[in-house]
Amino acid sequence: MSTLPSSMVLQWAMEIERNGEGFYRVAAAQAKDRDAKALFEDLAYQEERHYNVFQRMLERAPAASAEDAQDAGKYRAYLQSALAGALFAGPDKGLKLAKEAQDEGEALRAALAFEKDTLLFFYDLRDMVAEAERAAVTAIINEERSHVRQLAQVIEEGPWMN
């Protein structure tokens, strides 16, 4: 199995976190309910914080070689094809969903789908990095898993769900 350097994985993680932050900022701006707005603002803040954590990790990660970059390009093409329906696939897709949400419940369901897609993405990537670099990807997975749990709990208990 080919491997990818953690620096490449972290760059993708940063891109996904930026997309998530954008999604949550739009959802917060559109939320009518004060509690839903606060939740989306908090999730946007968490995405921003995760981006910063991953950026610091990237600064410490060994640089990728030209060969690594070529392999990563091939793998990224595979991922984009395999996950074309994923909510994080491009910055505009998540923003569009957030803007089109009719209510807080719909935005929460889209957020949960976004986080699940992200989690699956990182599980796949973890299998593609060298053993010595898997801890960086596992840290990303743990962060995203906490978002899934938080959103699932709010959807189950929240007053916004129809």
Element (H, E) at 25: helix 6-30
pLDDT 10s digits, 16-40:
888 888 889 999 999 988 888 999 9
pTM of the model: 0.79
pLDDT digits over 51-70, tens only?
888 888 888 877 776 776 66
> What pLDDT, on a 0 to 100 scale, did the predictor assign at position 149?
93
Q: Where are the domains of the chain?
A: 6-157
Q: What is the CATH number of domain 6-157?
A: 1.20.1260.10
Confidence of residue 1 (pLDDT cuts 50, 70, 90): very low
* 13 neighbors 85 (Cβ within 8 angstroms): no
Q: Is residue 84 over pLDDT 60?
A: no
pLDDT of residue 42: 93
* Side-chain half-sphere CA neighbours of 161 within 13 A: 11
The mean per-residue pLDDT over the stretch 65-77 comes to 68
CB 4 within 8 A of CB 71: yes
Mean pLDDT taken over the chain: 79
Is a pLDDT exceeding 70 seen at residue 109?
yes
